């Protein structure tokens, strides 16, 4: 009966293989493939059937090519899946041996063919067999498709492979399945893209079936499918009207967008076949025309639920006109496209004028600006409300009709709505215009032509037409660049917006045009102050755009600039403006970096606790270059700018310390006094001190209590001795003297001033703050409600007694549950608070001015240099832009931190940040910028796996030896070096911020750093390893960004394997990219009083980021990343892992563990049981089993080990365990056995490497023994023993045992409470190398009473 079960099991598994996909049907008498089937079945080297032991009643699945288990498919070619797997495996070897060729070649094809031996496969003489195999191939490659899709793919696949054979084989090689495999390998992205398109668009299938009905010689299925889709969305009145149809059209085009972006433009067919290149150009041209119209409609309909029907009909005609004119051109002609789009926008604006402004009002005829607050006169003419109110002569500016003095300007709701709609329409057109020129002229393409740049410059630098009346300004909103007006305002915002857009093309590419731009602006700007603002704006933009993303690049740029700079050359009038401004920007950037280096060097040297600075030699060279520049400079401005940087970056006190050490920074005539008392805040405290002394004289003990508390705390801070009978007045004087004698009193003076102010304040509003300072126990757990929502939270959630009050009535605010009430409250609060803070700012500026004009000459001069606009020097050189004070004003650079700061201010209570994509990118950009190297990392990992498997003792090779292989090409060596450097950087970032990365990092995972001497074993993608962690992390970053963007844009996602990842598949964004793009969306306004307001257009920035960097990027399947399991040594850990994979495991109960640890007393019995358990575990790791089955029964019946089962009776607990307990039992028994050996003075750990055999000293052992007495000692011994026996090689000897043990426990899913209990007993100073000594100390500490051990057999347990 037993033999019958085994034989039946074997036959069942054979049938499961040979009948896969109903393969047995092919040996029926009527099948022409029966003979081939039998030949393949008999070929032992071709068909190998692996037998696996299974239970008699086990279900044995039959292989199927379909994803649906309820659907059965019939294979058309015998054992097609075996042949495919074989040919795939051979191709992979050929591909790597031939250095991964980018396109198929005759040499590679012949090499592939020579490797295929003793393989039964069809050739060109049997086209039906090849067709059958191709059909099966496609069902395996693209499971779950409709039959019609397979029909089309099969035609295309065979035709493409035949063309490849004739093109590459040159008639010398016959057509065979190897051409199918090669064609699929190089075109699989195309085929997959078609399959994705077909799933979403059924109509495409029927049209392609009609196109391919007569089997044309050239079928480019993906491009043909996209051409069909683009034909269907060609703009027409029926497709764009009414409003709902227009919205549906937008959705249709949006669905096509990712597919167009996924088109491969580098596959071999584009090089071999001119017709495909022509078809690709035609598809892309049609898409460009459609996308421009799509962008325009998308902008106009954004956030709209309806639009005026008449306006929609008018603009739809313009849309159709635009598409037809664009498509009529043979290709993308920049100047023609620019002019055409501008013309259509103006026409759309005129249509909006007709629809919305029925009275013909486009602008206020008084101020000539866009009307935002309309008011209607009795004569029906419309102006700005404010303009009417400011007229001295109450007469209409258009018809001259007078109106009463007491007339109240107002407008109907319809008029207001019409004006608002018109303004909104114009703004949306402006928004489209900026995105249009950014994408099609100033994006990633070649620099625009001179004509395009001239057209853009004319928008802001043109002269008004003579027909414009004197003084007329055509209004332009400050934040927009618009195509509507003949001549716009020359506001700094518009100028900087255009300049930033032009700089995206690269400074050298637009330098000539910028020179002309400057000349035209100089003619237009007559006011010198405005001219200074304009020049500084240019310098600041240039400085921002030339700032590199990497610190080492900044150092190199700064050193080059400082070593070659000749300031005198730029003082000459013949030097061009743009060259001078570029030089100033470079010099400012370099000096700013020198300030950073100086601060790091000097302040670190002064701080004994600061870490040692690295790269001192290089940094000192940079400082020396700056010294030489200062020594020969004909102007003090470099020194002035360096001082301003030091002051702004490090503060006045730190600047003073640096200047004491680096006196060469001081301009001639400026000295720094050793006495800094004049920089103290003491003079500002006189009024407060007088008030405090008056209060102390009043002898009011209640009021003086707070003052006494302040002085007591200040004495502690200043470490000033206190006299018991000392008067409070004397204490106050002593404290002030101590403050004035300190080297840096500034911060302590502020602290003292604040505390005294609170102590003396009689206001009830400060009562809570007083308690926080002087009676913190009273307000423990409290907080100050700054918004009404805080009080609402208190009312619902704060747990206090019903009679208690948290706040005085004077501070309490009424609860504002409605959003509109809250907004009204915020507006009112702002109106009340803003004047106070404006006045405070004025007061602070006044104090600053006062301090700059007080004290010794040297100190006041230094303050004027640091804070003033113009340094107080006589005979300053004035010639040239380089000597203009405005050029050396300090401005913070736009950085990722700056962007993050502004973005976080956009958070909306309860709804989160409205720009989640930007938020994710900015917060993770430090690592996201490395995602672009993922394809290189995948290639490196595959190469390392190949090297490791094929080189003798490959694990002993270093990275340098791997890279020095003569077989590697220079391109491969460069790509691999880049990938290794990326792994190093990302690993460093993960280690520094492991909690925020979301990656579980093995404590002290070796090595700490990666360099050319690192063993390649550490870079192999094993689990866990640094390479594996970094790859998983980068894939996670890519997928998270793509997923976040998809939730916002609702764009269709696709998935790819790691093998399919190409540079075009992954995120390729750097800090420099994002900052550059942000700068083009940075706006600032300078008011007449010089106040500057900065803000970003985050909506546009997020839109551009998605389009340029994220749209069309796929999800990468993490499980497909390269990996290798090191099976050359079968470890205990590997066996246990496989057992867990085969059947679930449970821990023994605490009582069961305790029984074993107390009652098991024979080393001999334990050794025999452990030997039996090891055999059982090895079998379970392969075959699995029923978790509930009794362990002794399994050993007796399945393993036929009756003697081993009987030995279970000699050890407590074991006879009652089940298979689900085998690993826990193994763990406890092994720990108990080692304990007994230690008590017998035997060494159970003699095979553990010597680096882990360190010793605790007597003091450490005593302390450990004391702390262990308070923990579960049995559990501690069991788990630490498991770590020693199973996982110790994963840890470094020199690192902390406490954290390594904690990681091990968490990795093994030990409950958190137990983890804390077990690790708390370990001192963090104990290294992993002392782990054996720790375990022995714990064993000796245990209270188990062990009798004599002569009964056992110690030799079995010792080494």
DSSP states of 790-854: HHHHHHHH----TT--SS-TTT------SHHHHHHHHHHHHHHHHHHHHHHHHHHHHHHHHHHTS
Question: Of 938, 967, 965, whose CA–CA distance to 954 is shortest?
Answer: 965
Q: What are the residues whose beta carbons fall under 8 Å from the beta carbon of 260, sequence distance 6 or more?
A: 226, 283, 284, 287
- What does the alpha-carbon distance between residue 517 and residue 522 come to, in Å, rounded to a whole number? 9
pLDDT grade, residue 281 (50/70/90)?
A: very high
Query: Over the stretch 486-500, which tens digit does the pLDDT of each residue have?
Result: 444 444 555 666 677
Residue 158 pLDDT: 94
Residue 829 pLDDT: 67
Residue 12 pLDDT: 65
Mean pLDDT score of the chain: 77
Using H for helix, E for strand and C for coil, what is the string for 1048-1112? HHCCCCCEECHHHCCHHHCCCCCHHHHHHHHHCCEEEEECCCCCEEEEECHHHHHHHHHHHHHCC
Q: Which two tokens stand for residue 1205?
A: 């089962």
Please state whether the peptide bond connecting residue 242 to the residue before it is cis, i.e. omega within 30 degrees of 0: yes
Query: Over the stretch 33-51, which tens digit does the pLDDT of each residue have?
Result: 777 888 887 776 677 666 5
Q: Quick one: what percent of the chain has pLDDT higher than 90? A: 15
Q: What CA–CA distances, in Å, run from 1243 to 662, 1038, 1239, 1253, 1335?
A: 64, 50, 10, 11, 12
* φ, ψ for residue 746, nearest 5 deg: -50, -55
Mean pLDDT, residues 932-959 taken together: 75
More confident residue, 844 or 80: 80
Q: Are 593 and 554 in contact (CB under 8 A)?
A: yes
Residue 806 has pLDDT above 50, yes or no: no
Cβ burial 590-613 (10 Å sphere, 16+ → b, else e)? bbbbbbbbbbbbbeeeeeeeeeee
pTM metric for this prediction:
0.65
Query: Over the stretch 1309-1331, which tens digit does the pLDDT of each residue have?
Result: 788 888 888 888 898 889 999 99
Residue 1034 pLDDT: 93
Q: What CA–CA distances, in Å, run from 1113 to 258, 854, 919, 1043?
A: 8, 62, 18, 10
Residue whose entry in the numeric block shows the structure tokens 């450097």: 981
pLDDT grade, residue 1069 (50/70/90)?
A: confident
Residue 812 pLDDT: 38
User: What does the chain come to in residues?
Assistant: 1359
pLDDT grade, residue 224 (50/70/90)?
A: very high
Residue 694 has pLDDT above 60, yes or no: yes
Residue 118 pLDDT: 66
Beta bridge partners, 410, equal: 376
Residue 571 has pLDDT above 60, yes or no: yes
More confident residue, 999 or 186: 186
Mean pLDDT, residues 398-416 taken together: 86
Question: Of 432, 421, 430, whose CA–CA distance to 480 is shortest?
Answer: 430
Q: Is 382 helix (H, G, I), strand (E, B) or coil?
A: strand
Beta bridge partners, 1015, equal: 958
Query: Over the stretch 1255-1272, which tens digit does the pLDDT of each residue have?
Result: 998 888 888 888 888 888
DSSP state of 775: -
pLDDT grade, residue 164 (50/70/90)?
A: very high
Which class for 589: exposed (0-12), middle (13-18), buried (19 or more C-beta within 10 A)? buried
* φ, ψ for residue 1218, nearest 5 deg: -120, 175
Q: Which of 688-697, 885-894, 1009-1018 has the highest mean pLDDT?
A: 885-894
Tell me the torsion sign for CA atoms 170, 171, 177, 178. negative
Q: Is 966 helix (H, G, I), strand (E, B) or coil?
A: coil
Mean pLDDT, residues 1184-1192 taken together: 87
pLDDT grade, residue 852 (50/70/90)?
A: low
Query: Over the stretch 83-120, which tens digit does the pLDDT of each residue have?
Result: 888 898 888 878 877 777 888 999 999 888 887 866 77
- What does the alpha-carbon distance between residue 310 and residue 210 come to, in Å, rounded to a whole number? 41
Query: What DSSP element (H or E) covers 234?
Result: none
Q: What CA–CA distances, in Å, run from 653 to 518, 607, 648, 649, 714?
A: 41, 14, 11, 11, 21
pLDDT grade, residue 605 (50/70/90)?
A: low
pLDDT grade, residue 672 (50/70/90)?
A: confident
- What does the alpha-carbon distance between residue 757 and residue 739 come to, in Å, rounded to a whole number? 17
- What does the alpha-carbon distance between residue 980 and residue 975 come to, in Å, rounded to a whole number? 9
Residue 727 has pLDDT above 60, yes or no: yes
Query: Over the stretch 448-487, which tens digit does the pLDDT of each residue have?
Result: 888 888 777 776 655 444 433 333 333 333 445 566 554 4
Which class for 1245: exposed (0-12), middle (13-18), buried (19 or more C-beta within 10 A)? buried
Residue 791 pLDDT: 43
Query: Over the stretch 1198-1251, which tens digit does the pLDDT of each residue have?
Result: 776 787 788 888 888 888 899 999 998 988 998 888 888 887 777 787 667 778
Mean pLDDT, residues 759-765 taken together: 68
Question: Of 359, 327, 325, whose CA–CA distance to 342 is shortest?
Answer: 325
Q: What CA–CA distances, in Å, run from 793 to 316, 790, 803?
A: 51, 5, 18
Residue 1141 has pLDDT above 60, yes or no: yes
Query: Over the stretch 190-201, which tens digit does the pLDDT of each residue have?
Result: 998 899 899 888
Mean pLDDT, residues 756-773 taken together: 70
Query: What DSSP element (H or E) covers 1157?
Result: helix 1150-1159
Residue 1055 pLDDT: 85
- What does the alpha-carbon distance between residue 887 and residue 880 come to, in Å, rounded to a whole number? 11
Q: Quick one: what percent of the chain has pLDDT higher than 70? A: 75
Residue 153 has pLDDT above 90, yes or no: yes
Using H for helix, E for strand and C for coil, what is the string for 1316-1339? HHHHHCCCCCCEHHHHHHHHHHHH
List the single range of 432-441, 959-968, 1299-1308 with lowest mean pLDDT.
959-968
Cβ burial 540-573 (10 Å sphere, 16+ → b, else e)? bbbbbbbbebeeeebbebbbebbeebebeebbee
Q: Which of 155-164, 887-896, 1281-1290 has the highest mean pLDDT?
A: 155-164
- What does the alpha-carbon distance between residue 558 and residue 547 come to, in Å, rounded to a whole number? 10
Residue 127 pLDDT: 87
Mean pLDDT, residues 413-434 taken together: 83
DSSP secondary structure, 126-190, as one string:
-HHHHHHHHHHHHHHHSTT--HHHHHHHHHHHHHHHHHHHHHHSTTSS---HHHHHHHHHHHHHH
Mean pLDDT, residues 362-369 taken together: 75
Residue 1087 has pLDDT above 70, yes or no: no
Q: Which two tokens stand for residue 288?
A: 């460009």
Query: Over the stretch 728-748, which tens digit does the pLDDT of each residue have?
Result: 777 777 777 777 666 566 667
Mean pLDDT, residues 796-807 taken together: 43
For the chain, how big is the Rg over CA atoms in Å?
A: 40
Residue 1078 has pLDDT above 50, yes or no: yes
Q: Is 441 helix (H, G, I), strand (E, B) or coil?
A: coil
- What does the alpha-carbon distance between residue 113 and residue 172 come to, in Å, rounded to a whole number? 12
Give Cα 366 distance to the centre of its chain: 51
Using H for helix, E for strand and C for coil, what is the string for 802-818? CCCCCCCCCCCCCCCCC
Residue 628 pLDDT: 92
Q: Which two tokens stand for residue 804?
A: 């208690």
Residue 531 has pLDDT above 90, yes or no: no
Q: What are the residues whose beta carbons fall under 8 Å from the beta carbon of 87, sequence distance 6 or more?
A: 116, 121, 177, 178, 181
Residue 963 has pLDDT above 90, yes or no: no
Please state whether the peptide bond connecting residue 1007 to the residue before it is cis, i.e. omega within 30 degrees of 0: yes
Residue 934 pLDDT: 93
Question: Of 358, 390, 393, 387, whose CA–CA distance to 374 is shortest?
Answer: 387
Q: What are the residues whose beta carbons fall under 8 Å from the beta carbon of 1170, sequence distance 6 or more?
A: 1226, 1229, 1230, 1233
pLDDT grade, residue 178 (50/70/90)?
A: very high
Q: What are the residues whose beta carbons fall under 8 Å from the beta carbon of 387, sequence distance 6 or more?
A: 364, 366, 367
Residue 1345 pLDDT: 36
Residue 1351 pLDDT: 35
Question: Of 588, 605, 584, 510, whose CA–CA distance to 554 is shortest?
Answer: 588
Q: Is 402 helix (H, G, I), strand (E, B) or coil?
A: strand
Residue 595 has pLDDT above 70, yes or no: yes
Please state whether the peptide bond connecting residue 1024 to the residue before it is cis, i.e. omega within 30 degrees of 0: yes
């Amino acid at each position: 009966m037993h033999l019958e079960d085994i034989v039946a099991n074997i036959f069942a598994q054979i049938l499961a293989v040979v009948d896969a996909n109903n393969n047995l049907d092919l040996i029926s008498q009527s099948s022409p493939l029966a003979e081939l089937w039998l030949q393949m079945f008999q070929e032992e080297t071709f068909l190998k059937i692996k037998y696996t032991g299974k239970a008699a009643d086990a279900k044995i699945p039959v292989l199927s090519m379909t994803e649906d288990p309820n659907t059965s498919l019939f294979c058309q070619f015998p054992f097609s899946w075996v042949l495919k797997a074989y040919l795939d495996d051979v191709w992979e070897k050929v591909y790597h041996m031939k250095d991964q060729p980018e396109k198929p070649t005759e040499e590679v094809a012949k090499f592939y063919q020579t490797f295929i031996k003793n393989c039964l496969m069809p050739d060109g003489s049997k086209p039906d067999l090849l067709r059958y195999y191709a059909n099966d191939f496609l069902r395996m490659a693209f499971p779950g498709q409709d039959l019609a899709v397979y029909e089309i793919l099969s035609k295309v696949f065979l035709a493409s492979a035949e063309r490849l054979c004739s093109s590459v084989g040159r008639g010398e090689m016959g057509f065979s399945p190897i051409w199918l495999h090669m064609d699929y390998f190089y075109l699989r992205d195309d085929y997959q893209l078609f399959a994705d398109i077909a799933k979403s668009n059924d109509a495409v299938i029927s049209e392609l079936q009609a196109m391919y009905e007569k089997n044309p010689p050239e079928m480019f299925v993906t491009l043909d499918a996209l051409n069909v889709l683009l034909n269907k969305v060609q703009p027409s009145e029926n497709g764009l009207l009414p409003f709902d149809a227009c919205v549906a059209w937008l959705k249709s085009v949006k669905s096509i967008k990712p597919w167009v972006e996924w088109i491969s433009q580098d596959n071999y067919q584009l090089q071999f076949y001119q017709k495909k290149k022509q078809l690709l150009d035609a598809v892309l041209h049609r898409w460009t025309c459609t996308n421009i119209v799509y962008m325009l409609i998308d902008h106009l309909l954004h956030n709209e639920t309806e639009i005026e029907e008449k306006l929609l009909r008018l603009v739809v005609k313009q849309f159709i006109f635009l598409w037809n004119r664009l498509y009529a051109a043979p290709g993308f002609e920049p100047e023609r496209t620019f002019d055409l789009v501008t013309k259509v926008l103006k026409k759309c604006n005129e249509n909006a004028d007709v629809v919305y402004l029925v009275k013909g009002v486009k602008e206020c005829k008084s101020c000539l600006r866009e009307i935002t607050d309309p008011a209607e006169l009795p004569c029906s003419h419309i102006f700005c409300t404010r303009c009417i109110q400011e007229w001295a002569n109450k007469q209409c500016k258009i018809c001259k009709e007078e109106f009463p003095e007491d007339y109240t300007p107002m407008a109907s709701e319809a008029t207001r709505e019409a004006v608002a709609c018109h303004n909104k329409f114009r703004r949306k057109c402006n928004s489209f215009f900026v995105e249009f020129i950014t994408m099609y002229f100033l994006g990633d393409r070649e620099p625009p032509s001179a004509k395009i740049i001239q057209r853009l410059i004319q928008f802001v630098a043109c002269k008004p037409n003579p027909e414009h009346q004197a003084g007329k300004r055509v209004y332009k909103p400050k934040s927009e660049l618009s195509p509507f007006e003949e001549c716009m305002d020359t506001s700094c915002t518009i100028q900087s917006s255009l300049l930033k857009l032009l700089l995206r093309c690269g400074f050298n590419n637009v330098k000539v045009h910028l020179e002309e731009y400057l000349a035209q602006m100089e003619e237009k700007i007559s006011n010198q102050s405005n001219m200074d603002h304009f020049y500084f704006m240019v310098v600041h933009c240039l400085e921002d755009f030339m700032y590199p993303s990497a610190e080492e690049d900044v150092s190199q740029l700064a050193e080059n600039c400082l070593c070659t700079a000749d300031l005198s050359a730029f003082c000459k009038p013949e030097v061009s403006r743009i060259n001078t401004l570029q030089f100033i920007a470079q010099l400012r950037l370099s000096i700013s970096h020198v300030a950073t280096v100086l601060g790091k060097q000097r302040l670190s040297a002064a701080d004994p606790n600061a870490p040692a600075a690295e790269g001192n030699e290089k940094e000192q060279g940079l400082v020396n270059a700056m010294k030489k520049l200062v020594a020969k400079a004909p102007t003090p401005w470099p020194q002035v700018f360096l001082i301003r940087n030091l002051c702004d970056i490090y503060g006045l006190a730190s600047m003073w310390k640096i200047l004491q050490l680096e006196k060469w920074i001081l301009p001639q005539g400026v000295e720094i006094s050793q006495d800094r008392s004049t920089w103290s805040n003491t003079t500002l405290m006189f009024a407060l001190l007088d008030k405090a002394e008056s209060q102390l004289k009043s002898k009011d003990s209640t009021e003086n209590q707070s003052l006494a508390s302040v002085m007591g705390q200040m004495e502690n801070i200043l470490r000033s001795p206190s006299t018991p009978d000392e008067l409070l007045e004397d204490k106050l004087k002593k404290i002030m003297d101590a403050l004035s004698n300190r080297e840096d009193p500034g911060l302590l003076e502020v602290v003292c001033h604040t505390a005294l102010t609170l102590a003396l304040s009689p206001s009830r509003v400060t009562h809570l703050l007083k308690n926080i300072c002087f009676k913190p126990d009273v307000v423990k757990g409290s907080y100050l409600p700054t918004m009404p929502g805080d009080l609402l939270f208190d009312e619902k959630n704060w747990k206090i007694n019903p009679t208690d009050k948290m706040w005085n009535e004077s501070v309490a605010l009424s609860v504002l549950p409605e959003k509109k009430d809250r907004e009204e409250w915020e507006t009112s609060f702002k109106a009340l608070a803003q004047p106070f803070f404006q006045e405070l700012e004025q007061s602070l500026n006044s104090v600053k001015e006062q301090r700059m004009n007080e004290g010794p000459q040297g100190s006041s001069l230094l303050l004027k240099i640091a804070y003033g606009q113009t340094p107080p020097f006589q005979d300053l050189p004035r010639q040239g832009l380089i000597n203009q004070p405005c050029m050396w004003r300090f401005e913070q650079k736009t950085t990722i931190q700056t962007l993050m700061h502004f973005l976080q201010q956009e958070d909306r209570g309860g709804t989160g940040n409205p720009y989640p994509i930007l938020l994710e990118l900015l917060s993770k950009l430090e690592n996201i910028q490395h995602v672009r190297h993922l394809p290189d990392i995948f290639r490196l990992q595959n190469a390392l796996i190949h090297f490791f498997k094929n080189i003798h003792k490959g694990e002993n090779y270093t990275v340098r030896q791997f890279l020095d292989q003569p077989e590697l090409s220079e391109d491969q060596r460069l790509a691999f070096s880049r990938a290794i450097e990326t792994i190093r950087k990302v690993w460093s970032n993960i280690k520094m911020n492991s909690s925020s990365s979301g990656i579980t990092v093995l404590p002290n995972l070796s090595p700490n750093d990666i360099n050319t001497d690192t063993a390649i074993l550490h870079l192999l993608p094993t689990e866990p390893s640094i390479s594996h962690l970094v790859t998983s992390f980068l894939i996670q970053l890519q997928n998270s960004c793509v997923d976040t963007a998809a939730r916002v844009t609702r764009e269709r996602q696709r998935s790819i394997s790691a093998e399919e990842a190409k540079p075009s598949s992954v995120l390729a964004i750097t800090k420099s990219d994002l900052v550059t793009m942000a700068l083009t969306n940075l706006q600032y306004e300078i008011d007449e009083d010089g106040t500057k307001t900065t803000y970003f257009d985050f909506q546009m920035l997020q839109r551009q980021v998605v389009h340029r960097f994220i749209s069309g990027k796929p999800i990468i399947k993490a499980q497909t990343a390269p990996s290798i399991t090191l099976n050359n040594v079968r470890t205990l850990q590997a066996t246990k892992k496989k057992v867990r994979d085969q059947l679930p495991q449970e821990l023994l109960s605490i009582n069961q563990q305790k029984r074993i640890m107390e009652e098991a007393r024979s080393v001999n019995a334990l050794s025999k049981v452990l030997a039996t358990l090891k055999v059982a575990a090895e079998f379970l790791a392969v075959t699995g089993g029923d978790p509930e089955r009794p362990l002794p029964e399994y050993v007796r019946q399945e393993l036929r080990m009756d003697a081993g089962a009987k030995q279970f009776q000699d050890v407590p607990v074991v006879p009652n365990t089940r298979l689900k307990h085998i690993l826990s039992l193994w763990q406890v028994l092994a720990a108990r056995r080692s304990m007994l050996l230690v008590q017998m003075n035997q060494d159970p750990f003699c095979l553990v490497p010597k680096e882990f055999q360190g010793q605790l000293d007597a003091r450490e052992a005593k302390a450990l023994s004391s702390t262990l007495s308070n923990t579960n000692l049995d559990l501690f011994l069991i788990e630490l023993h498991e770590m020693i026996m199973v996982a110790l090689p994963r840890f470094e000897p020199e690192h902390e045992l406490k954290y390594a043990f904690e990681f091990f426990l968490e990795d093994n899913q030990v409950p958190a409470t137990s983890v804390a209990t077990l690790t708390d007993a370990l001192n963090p100073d104990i290294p992993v190398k002392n782990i054996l000594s720790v375990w022995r100390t714990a064993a000796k500490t245990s209270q188990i009473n062990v009798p004599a051990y002569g009964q056992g057999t110690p030799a079995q347990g010792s080494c």
